Structure 1
């Protein structure tokens, strides 16, 4: 399944809130336009009423001045109608019947109200002033009104123009965001192109300048490339060392196999056959250890399950006992009385123990007489202890002893036994310790105790 592009993701993250703000702004602008138009038109009604009242006082109701006519004519907000009565309620000028209010009219201030007039809703303003018209003096009532539909249409036009402007701005901003994100992501596209142009053998760090927001990704990628390069170099070194180590046993087997048909003496032939079998066993053991190392390096799905450590150690010691006794060695195994539960792979743990025992057998020296194996536990974990009275390993040589294909002295080993032991213990979150002893070598394999969930 293909993931959404970063450009589209950013566009969808930015644009919906922008649309929401635009909608809210448009609603606010529509309400504000209506409120503003109502206030402006009410002031226009007041201005018209004052102008009409002035003209009536000057002309005695005979005529309105041109400026007043222009003011009350249709000028965007709809036509203004008017009605004037003089002192005593005498009709002066204007339309015959004005809209009537449903409530008492204030005499001190201009009074605004809504009313129906000939089937239409009207906004009405009534102004009462003391005036002298001809020889009469008293209250003069000026009533002006305007269609509400005209007002609302005018306000709607203003709001629609504002909404159109907002929509245009949002559309322009959307285009800016769409292409702006593309421009902003150009360094990532350049980085992708630079990585694509690399050859498979180029695992060096990426040194291209990138924005701060993606520098962490590049740093992580550089660290991964460094780990891949280290792993590749280590693997190449392992293959080279393995080829070198396998060359000698293979050459020995080939030489013995070619010489065997030409040997006529029975005793010498039997000796050659024994040498051939021994060389084959060494070669098979070396191949098995090499495969074990590779499996420990790359097989992350090895079965890890609880098992009884005593049972595994006992099985290994039973199989190894005949070889130890044939070398005239005292070989003992002391089992722990308690059940030692370990979470791990029993085959790998057995392989580690076999390598320790064979390492002691091959490198213990001619003076070695005993090999002792025991299991025990403490509050945090369980242990396998392998002890011999051979030549021993100096503490300052321990790192060399655990290095692959390395030997402290020339012998029959392959230099892989302790390396396998170290890898197995790392896989089981344990450790291998060299315990100080007066004579010989004592290794302790420590495993964390398996705690039931």
Structure 2
């Protein structure tokens, strides 16, 4: 069964699909809003157009009203009904009332308008209709007052015209929306093309190629490219640590392992008990030396790994110095050797990994105990804007030639000397450089000083 962790992540919608869905949703919402606006406009336009027909018909009827022999008479003009007949499917309603309110002609049961209204909506024989109320004033000896003309029309033609206007507007919106969506998809694909190039470049790379991407991405993609380059740089650094560990292991263990094998062969073939005991003793020493070599190689790999992967914390170098003194269990600490502490009242903060700093300081102390002269002093100070954790012994220190090589890896061979793997100071140097500092060896009045020199907390990088 394949490992679940090796399976690719579940596929999700692509950026193009998400943008297409978003644009489509935006166009749909906008289209609905425009459709409602188009329908409202269509209704208004249809109403205004057919209201003008009502006005024309009512004016024609009103102009045909006259007074004869003291009576109001109406000769309905054909032109009024010709105007209203432009809406062929609609039913027509009309009514003329004299100054006394009597119906002179037309439908007697037409609904009355609201007070002061000119246009109004009301049913006509069970069907929605639109009415116009118009008055004509007479001021004669026999007739004085207002004659009221009411003209109505059902709403079929108005509704058809409103729907026709809306339908044509929606056709235009649909064509425009499809064109906008197609153009938007082309623009999106063009905008996302740099991502395709980056993906293609990464997929075609050799697995061992961790060099930074040299593409010139758009401003929005540049942070992602920077993050990928940073990740590959960290990964390359970790792979360098692994390669160095493998190389060092193959190079440094070959000689001591061969020596152990030779000593073991001699011990097996030796008949003399005394010589056999000496061979076993040499095997034991070689084993201890090999164990120290392995410990320091693993410590070096661990410390270098932590400096590149563990999040940095605020560490007071005085606490590191105090831990070294209070521990009192250093392997090289001989009986009667006294450690003194020289720290001030002011904090000496740096940004680093506490465990890596303690390992680096412990190696400096081990070097002073093994090669220096008591008394040994552990202290902290601030010099030239840098924060120092130093180990001072009373010895003269090594020569200039040896001092120039201090901190380099495998300066002493565990296979030849049996005393040191030569990695202690290399660990200290790696830690100092990882946090933007250095390892400094100085002859000072009263002895020789080895110091971790690190930037202050605000200047650490």
The answer, yes or no, to whether TM exceeds 0.5 is yes
Q: CA RMSD in A?
A: 5.2
Q: 1:81 is matched with which residue?
A: 93
Higher mean displacement: 273-282 or 369-378: 369-378
| Residue 70 in structure 1 maps to residue 82 in structure 2 | yes
Which of 240, 253, 258 is the aligned partner of 1:246?
253
Q: Equivalent residue for 1:126?
A: 133
SS at match of 1:404: coil
| Counterpart selection for 1:9 from 12, 15, 18 | 18
Q: Deviations over 1:142-163 (max 9, x none)?
A: 4311235764565355446545
Shift, 1:425, TM fit = 6.3
Paired residue secondary structure (1:216): helix
Per the alignment, residue 425 of structure 2 pairs with: 418
Measured after TM superposition, the shift of residue 216 of structure 1 is: 3.4
Q: CA deviation at 1:285?
A: 1.1
Q: Could you say which residue in structure 2 is the equivalent of 1:218?
A: 225
Residue 273 of structure 1, CA deviation: 4.9
Other structure's SS at 1:370 match: coil
Structure 1 residues 442 and 88 mapped into 2: Cα distance closer, same or farther (>3 Å)?
closer
1:370 aligns with 2:377: no
CA distance 1:194–1:309, change in 2 (3 Å): closer
Moved more, 9-18 or 347-356: 347-356
Structure 1, residues 93-127: CA drift from partner, whole Å, max 9, x if none?
6556654334368xxxxx33345544555432233
Is 1:297 the counterpart of 2:301 in the alignment? Answer: no
Q: In the alignment, what sits opposite 1:100?
A: 112
Alignment CA distance shift 1:248-1:62 (3 Å)? same
* SS of alignment partner, residue 202 of structure 1: coil
> Larger deviation: 80-89 or 1-10?
80-89
CA pair 273-350 structure 1, distance change in 2 beyond 3 A: farther
What SS does the corresponding residue of 1:321 show, helix, strand or coil? coil
Task: State the match for 2:333 in structure 1.
Answer: 321
- Does the CA-based 8 Å contact 1:360-1:388 persist in structure 2? no
SS at match of 1:443: strand
Q: Which residue of 2 is the match for residue 402 of structure 1?
A: 407
Contact 2:303/2:431, CA 8 A, preserved across alignment: yes
TM-score by length of 2: 0.68
Tell me the equivalent position of 1:334. Answer: 340
Give a deviation string over 1:332-368, Cα, whole Å, max 9, x none: 223589999x999998666545533443355x4xxx6
Q: Structure 2: which 5+ runs fail to align? A: 1-8, 67-72, 456-461
Q: Distance in 2 between matches of 1:139 and 1:114?
A: 23
Contact 1:77 1:151 in 2 (8 A): no
Whether 1:287 and 2:299 are equivalent positions in the alignment is no
Task: Give the Å deviation of 1:416.
Answer: 1.0
Change (3 A) 1:98 1:256: closer
C-alpha offsets along residues 37-67 of structure 1, whole Å, 9 cap, x if unaligned?
A: 333322221122234455778xx965645x6
How many positions carry a matched residue from both structures? 424
Give the Cα–Cα distance (whole angstroms) in 1 for the partners of residues 166 and 209 of structure 2.
Answer: 63
Mean CA deviation greater in 225-234 or 195-204: 225-234
Q: Distance in 2 between matches of 1:447 and 1:224?
A: 25
Using a 3 Å threshold, how does the CA distance of structure 1 residues 187 and 356 change in structure 2: closer, same or farther? closer
